[in-house]
Structure 1
Amino acid sequence: MADKVALVLGFALFLFLHHSAAQTVHVVGDSTGWRIPPTADFYAKWATGKTFTVGDSLVFNFTTDRDDVTRVPKASFDMCSDDNEIGDSIEIGPATMRLTTAGEHYFISSEDTHCQQGQKLAINVTAAPAAPITPTPPSTKAPPPTSGRAPVTHVVGDATGWRIPQGGNMFYVNWATGKEFVVGDSLLFNFPAGDDVVRVTKRSFDLCSDDDDIGEDIDVSPARFFLNAPGEYYFISSEDRHCQQGQKLAINVTAAASGPMPPPSNARPPPPKPAPVTHVVGDAVGWTVPQGGAAFYTNWAAGKTFVVGDSLVFNFRPEVHDVERVTKRSFDICSDDDEIGDSIDSSPATIVLTAPGEHYYISTENQDCELGQKLAINVVATRSNAPATSIATSPSSGPSAGGPASNPGGSGSPFSSANTVAAALSATLFGLVLNFF
Structure 2
Amino acid sequence: MARNTNMAFFAAVVAAALLMSLASAATTYQVGDGLGWSIPSGGAAAYTTWADNKTFTVGDTLVFTYSSGNHDVAEVTKAAFDACNATNPITLETASPTNITLSSSGEHYYICTFSGHCSAGQKLSISVTGASSPAPAPRTTRPPSPSPPASVPAPAPSTISPPPSPPASVPAPAPSTSTPTPAASPAPTPSSSRAPVTWTVGNNSGWTVLPPGSYQTWAANKTFVVGDTLVFNYSNGTHDVAVVTKANYDSCNTSSTLALFTNPPTRITLNSTGENFFICTFTGHCAGGQKLAINVTSGNKTFVVGDTLVFNYSNGTHDVAVVTKANYDSCNTSSTLALFTNPPTRITLNSTGENFFICTFTGHCAGGQKLAINVTSGSTTATPPSSTATPPGSGATPPGSSANPPPGSPTSPNTPSSPTPEGSAPPPPNAAASLGAAGLSATFLSIALALLF
Q: One fold, TM greater than 0.5?
A: no
* TM-score range relative to shorter protein: under 0.3
Which has the higher relative contact order, 1 or 2, with Cα contacts under 8 A spaced 6 or more apart? 2
State the TM-score, normalizing by the size of structure 1: 0.26
Larger radius of gyration: 2
State the TM-score, normalizing by the size of structure 2: 0.25
